[in-house]
Amino acid sequence: MHRKPYILSPRAEEDIARIYAYIAGDNPDAAEQMLDKLLSACDLLTDNPRIGHYRSDLTQLPVRFWLVQPRYFLIYRGEDPVEIVRVLATNMDIARELAISQFLS
């Protein structure tokens, strides 16, 4: 069975663009490398959607977390297709960010 490609929510697209711009301000090559890491992790989740973990300490929403080194969580739901709902830095107030997110419809 061939898996469908992943879906990036509008908020996840904004998150990735913000991360890229922040890193590119100091080092455009590092920004490209991080973008590659994030998108490769999205591909990995498409092939292995259950490798992430639920984090009841952060949210009761039915989303999983996957850490992309060195410091970003891909937050996603579903399996076929996987939907990346947010991409957040580990040092953010993730519980707050998810509480105010409008990604669940």
Closest CA to 19 of 92, 78, 93, 99: 92
For 4-34, the pLDDT digits (tens) are: 689 999 999 999 999 999 999 999 999 999 9
> Residue 20: how many CB atoms within 10 A of its CB?
16
Residue 70 counted as domain residue: yes
Residue 40 counted as domain residue: yes
pTM of the model: 0.90
Residue 39 counted as domain residue: yes
Whole domain around residue 96: which residue ranges? Answer: 7-100
Residue 50 counted as domain residue: yes
Number of domains in the chain: 1
Distances (CA, A) of 50 to 30, 80, 81, 105: 29, 11, 12, 22
Residue 23 counted as domain residue: yes
User: What is the CATH number for 12?
Assistant: 3.30.2310.20
pLDDT of residue 101: 74
Residue 2 counted as domain residue: no
